[in-house]
Amino acid sequence: MKVLKAAVLVGGGVVLTLGLQAAVRNGTVPLRAQESQPPPAAQTAPSANPIYVPGPAAVTVLNQPTVNAKQQGEWTVRLDQAPVLEVAPVQVAPPAFVRPGGKYAFTWAPGAKAEVHTVLAVGQGGWMLVSGQADRPGSVWVNTARAIRIEQVE
């Protein structure tokens, strides 16, 4: 494989050299850059001693290399004019089927054991006074909006 690559490179160099010699003999390529005016498109080239070769140039890309790019530094994203968002207050209503004086089993989390309470009073925002007596210690306010299941016991 290495011998084949070397042969291709040497052969390409020989063909290029022979083509350049033929172009010089025919007068299409000047021996020095000062002897002839370059074509108009090549006059803008910044090279000090340009060499002009006749014929179209062809480039063949044999592979497509991958590019490994990553962010460096922090990115900042912002809005020029932040919109004003207005949110109305949310009122959570207690379940309509829960009545004072009834016994209910409240489940607060998946897989948790249900807690049985007697509802003494129903307040606003999903709050209920449960167990004990309303005017004595032992009664507790619970928020039914946090319950995942409420079941009437009796």
Containing structural domain, residue 107: 103-152
26 CB-side CA count, 13 A: 10
Higher pLDDT among residues 74 and 56, named by residue: 74
108 is a domain residue: yes
Mean predicted confidence (pLDDT) in 47-68? 75
Number of domains in the chain: 2
Higher pLDDT among residues 36 and 104, named by residue: 104
Q: What is the amino acid identity at position 103?
A: K
The pLDDT score that the predictor gives to residue 8 is 58
123 is a domain residue: yes
Q: Is the pLDDT of residue 23 over 50?
A: yes
In CATH, what number is assigned to the domain containing residue 127?
Answer: 2.30.30
Classify 55 as helix, strand or coil.
coil
78 is a domain residue: no
Q: How confident is the model at residue 149 (pLDDT cuts 50, 70, 90)?
A: very high
**Residues near 20 by beta carbon (within 8 Å), at least 6 away in sequence:** 29, 53
Sheet order of strands, 140-143 included: 140-143, 127-130, 115-122, 103-107, 149-152
64 is a domain residue: no
89 is a domain residue: no
42 is a domain residue: no
The 10s digit of each residue's pLDDT in 88-146 is: 887 778 788 888 989 999 999 999 999 888 898 888 888 889 876 656 677 888 888 88
Q: How confident is the model at residue 79 (pLDDT cuts 50, 70, 90)?
A: confident
